[in-house]
Amino acid sequence: MPSLSQKERQDRLVELFHGAPIAKTTGMRLHYNNAGQAVFEMPYNAGFDHALHQVHGGLIATMIDNAGWFTVAPRFEHWIATVEFSTRLHEPVEKETLISSGRIIRLGKRLASCEVEVKTPQGRLIATGAGTFTVTSVPFA
């Protein structure tokens, strides 16, 4: 069976993500930009606010992990797994859509690292993060 191209893997990942329960729960949408970066958009949902009515940092951390993982994943013919990721919250955010995007820092044979930014649609930087991802033995199918 011939391997899928990077674009075909991106298309498959978009389809898989949009069918996942987390996409339905959070309202997140995924697309890839022309540079091959995964871009997630999450509309504001009051159900994800903490007690002070700002978006909970755990949702922002999820956007960081997602953007990193989905930026790296299409580059490999096997599934990847998150080894670690970090989140730096710079600004509180309330009642705004959030957008995260990943940028590969290093793409090795077994490990890849990615930096991520989370911004508002107006470009206000809310958080930054980074992740490391490893290639598994499970073929991408």
- CATH code of the domain in which 63 resides: 3.10.129.10
As a whole number of angstroms, the distance between CA 113 and CA 20 comes to 24
Structure-block tokens of residue 132: 């490391």
Domain membership flag for residue 67: yes
Query: How far lies 7's CA from each of 12, 79, 128, in Å?
Result: 9, 15, 26
Per-residue confidence (pLDDT) for residue 100, from 0 to 100: 98
**Span 36-72, pLDDT tens digits:** 999 999 999 999 999 999 999 999 999 999 999 999 9
As a whole number of angstroms, the distance between CA 73 and CA 11 comes to 12
Q: Rounded mean pLDDT of the chain?
A: 95
Per-residue confidence (pLDDT) for residue 120, from 0 to 100: 98
Kindly report the backbone phi and psi dihedral angles of residue 19, in degrees, each rounded to the nearest multiple of 5, phi listed first.
-90, -5
Domain membership flag for residue 128: yes
Domain membership flag for residue 35: yes
As a whole number of angstroms, the distance between CA 110 and CA 127 comes to 27
Domain membership flag for residue 20: yes
> Which structural domain, as residue segments, surrounds residue 48?
6-139
Taking the model in full, what pTM does it have? 0.95
* 13 close to 72: Cβ distance less than 8 angstroms: no
Domain membership flag for residue 1: no
**Span 88-119, pLDDT tens digits:** 999 999 999 999 999 999 999 999 999 999 99
Domain membership flag for residue 103: yes
Per-residue confidence (pLDDT) for residue 140, from 0 to 100: 87
Region 79-94 average pLDDT: 97
Domain membership flag for residue 98: yes
Say how many domains are in the chain: 1
Domain membership flag for residue 70: yes
Region 17-44 average pLDDT: 97
Per-residue confidence (pLDDT) for residue 2, from 0 to 100: 63
* 85 close to 98: Cβ distance less than 8 angstroms: no
